[in-house]
A and B are shown apart, each in its own frame.
Chain A
Amino acid sequence: MKISRYFTILSAGIVWSAVASAATLDTVRERGWLSCGASEGLPGFSSPDARGEWQGIDADFCRAVAAVVLGDPKKARFTALSSKIRFTALQTGKIDVLPRNTTWTQTRDTALGLNFVGVYYYDGQGILVRKSLGVKSAKELDGAAVCINAGTTTELNLADYFRKNGMRYSPVIFEKSDEVVAAYAAGRCDVYTTDKSGLYAQRLKLRDAANHVILPEILSKEPLGPVVRQGDDAWFNIVRWTLFALVGAEELGITSKNVMALKKSAKDPRVRRFVGTEGKAGANLGLDPDWALRAIAAVGNYGEIFARHLGPQTRLKIERGINRLWSDGGLHYAPPIR
């Protein structure tokens, strides 16, 4: 029941586990399934659907990695982690990869024995308020009570923002995001702040969602990406190139629908290298030539994943914005496979 107990268990993992950890790829293959860290329920990123299957771009990224290394997206399993314990779970080897709407920061990349492989969602911290408050800008929030999730970059960005603008605030910090939303809904706070994508998702949980508005200001840069343990470069490469494959496929026009046909018919050498009919991209990663093809066949390219879980056709209705490809004026840019 006590929260500290989780830590004790996880800390014990560090105390007792053997020093020499085997290569992650071998461990995963031997085990036969991939262990991924997921959130405790963030629609669009990772949350279980009515049948208990995890849905969202975090979940699909994990399935893509499972398809790449194990040949089957169904061999991805998920562990729900709170913000606080996610890094410890990865450090101790409880999970193999952490795609869990996690912001890439310098400290996390350098001091925790972890590496970020890239960015799959460019986010920024936003602010949700009641319309009845009549607030038009975050600059008017002096003295506000703010509901926040513990163990996030959000907490620190908020402090920076208020300090920078010489404003005061009173933080109300909860362990789990459901309680943050409940407290905000009960009127404990004037403001609820988290990554903008998260605000869209959590607003759906409010009974009077239409009475709440997201302010225009972006408080911070929140590049969200998958994390792996430091010191296993082969595994780092596989996870990183899975991400590049998803983005690169969109650029090349490869989709879950045409990828199989392209394997046989493609003339474009870039596509041929992608689907493994030319070059040895797979061998360089220690994998077979079909690695990228399987990822796309399993979950589609980045654009398809975005449209399925976050885009205008979903309940979240998030515009692509800066998450478009570089060629469309966005930030997603995958190095070439050659």
Chain B
Amino acid sequence: MSDGLWRSKAGHAVLWQVATVGLVVALGYVMVSNMLDNLASRGIASGFDFMSSTAGFGIATSLIDYDESSSIGRAFLVGLLNTLMVSAIGIVLATILGTAIGIARLSSNWLLARIAGAYVEVLRNIPLLLQIFFWYFAVLRTLPSPRGSHAVGNAVFLNNRGLYLPGMETGPAFWTMVAVAVLLVTLPVVRRRLGGIIAWGGGAALIFAACLTVKWSLPVLTGFNFRGGMVLSPEFVSLLVALSTYTAAFVAEIVRAGIQAVPRGQVEAARSLGLSPRDVMGKVVLPQALRVIVPPLTNQYLNLTKNSSLAAAIAYPDLVSVFAGTALSITGQAVEMIALVMAVYLAISLSIALGMNLYNRAIALKGG
């Protein structure tokens, strides 16, 4: 740097970068101010005031209290939670199913390997939207109407309105006891002080006591539909099935590639040490394969989450359907609402990526 900023190579690099950043900022400024001018000149309302106005529409599935008199901001939250719910469960299912199929593809059992191969080829080569429609309408058509439900006792009912299960109504007492039980069992300090048997026994007793405080509500057929209990809607189930089976096909390939990336010598060495096939897979191959698997797996998790926005096609009330759909048609403020939805998906994706990167760092080879 002795030659000053203008002469040195490093100085040039800095100047270029400053110029680039400046250009990007200026472009962003032009975009935003032009947009605001446009909105104003066309008499279109702008701003986020709509978030506190009354929604006025109903939402079928909600994890939190919501009714028509709630605000649009609340509806946003309902949609967001529905998106997170289907994505989170979908990721877990896709990982389990995908891992199983990936391992099956490498099985020495000819039939099993071929079935797993066929699964991967069929599922990943059909557009996801079609698969969602297939699951939705195929499932709907075969199920009976509420009056002719398939029933297990008088607690579980299956019909074309969904799967009705007994619902739990939990109070604070329930959650306190569950929390104490979990602490008893998981905290090493407590376990050492009390001894394992007492800790586990106490935990089990607390869980049992907690279950006694729960009020169970059974679904009952009233009028057209069942009331009470808990319901898994056909929309939720078919979206979940489609997302997880589709993504599982990709996960399976990633798992297979990861396993094959572990040198054969490792397997042979493990076998010659007398490890069982189960231990060879669980203790030698998979831990090493994970280092190859995790980064591309992150991609699949992100895809699954983003693909969940196809929910709007089959009436699952996710973020896009509720907020960028129904609420948008009320307020008409497309720019703000779409920007918000995009920001939310970006935030979800970045959080997943962050979590997976931390995990990846934890399992990476140390000091190498």
Contacts and interface: CB of A to CB of B under 8 A. Distances in A.
Interface of A: 1-4, 7-8, 10-11, 14-17, 19-20, 83-84, 87-88, 91, 107-108, 111-113, 133, 141-145, 147, 150-152, 155-156, 158-160, 162-163, 169-176, 179, 182-183, 186-188, 190, 229-231
Contacts of A20: 41
Contact of A84 (B227, B235, B325): B325
A172 B329 contact: no
A19 B41 contact: yes
26 contacts: A1-B310, A2-B310, A3-B312, A3-B313, A7-B338, A8-B338, A10-B334, A14-B35, A15-B35, A15-B335, A19-B37, A19-B38, A84-B329, A91-B44, A113-B39, A113-B42, A113-B43, A151-B326, A151-B329, A155-B326, A162-B58, A170-B225, A171-B60, A179-B313, A186-B141, A231-B43
Size category of the binding interface on chain B: 35 or more
| Interface majority SS (helix, strand, loop, mixed), chain A | mixed
B41 A4 contact: no
Nearest to A129: B224
B332 A8 contact: no
B60 A175 contact: no
Interface stretch (B18-26, B278-286, B315-323): B315-323
A144 B146 CA distance: 11
Contacts of A133: 224
A151 B328 contact: yes
Interface of B: 31, 34-35, 37-39, 41-45, 56-60, 68, 127-129, 137, 140-141, 143, 145, 160-161, 222-225, 227, 234-235, 306-307, 309-310, 312-315, 317, 320-321, 324-326, 328-332, 334-335, 338-339, 341-342
Contacts of B321: 150, 173, 175
Given A16-B31, A143-B222, A150 B334 contact: no
B310 A144 contact: no
Contacts of B44: 91, 111-113
Contacts of A163: 68
B80 to A, nearest CB: 14
A151 B322 CA distance: 10
Given A15-B35, A162-B58, A190-B224, 18 more contacts: A1-B127, A1-B129, A1-B310, A4-B338, A7-B338, A10-B334, A11-B339, A14-B334, A16-B31, A84-B325, A142-B223, A144-B224, A155-B57, A173-B317, A176-B313, A179-B313, A182-B137, A187-B160
A268 B96 CA distance: 82
Contacts of B235: 172
A14 B312 CA distance: 24
A186 B44 CA distance: 40
Contacts of B326: 150-151, 155, 173
Given A144-B225, A231-B42, A173 B325 contact: yes
Contacts of A88: 334
A235 to B, nearest CB: 14
A95 to B, nearest CB: 14
Contact of A14 (B57, B161, B224, B335): B335
Contacts of B43: 113, 230-231
Contacts of A156: 56-57, 330
Contacts of B42: 91, 113, 229-231
A162 B333 CA distance: 27
Contacts of A17: 38
A158 B328 CA distance: 17
A122 B314 CA distance: 30
Nearest to A169: B58
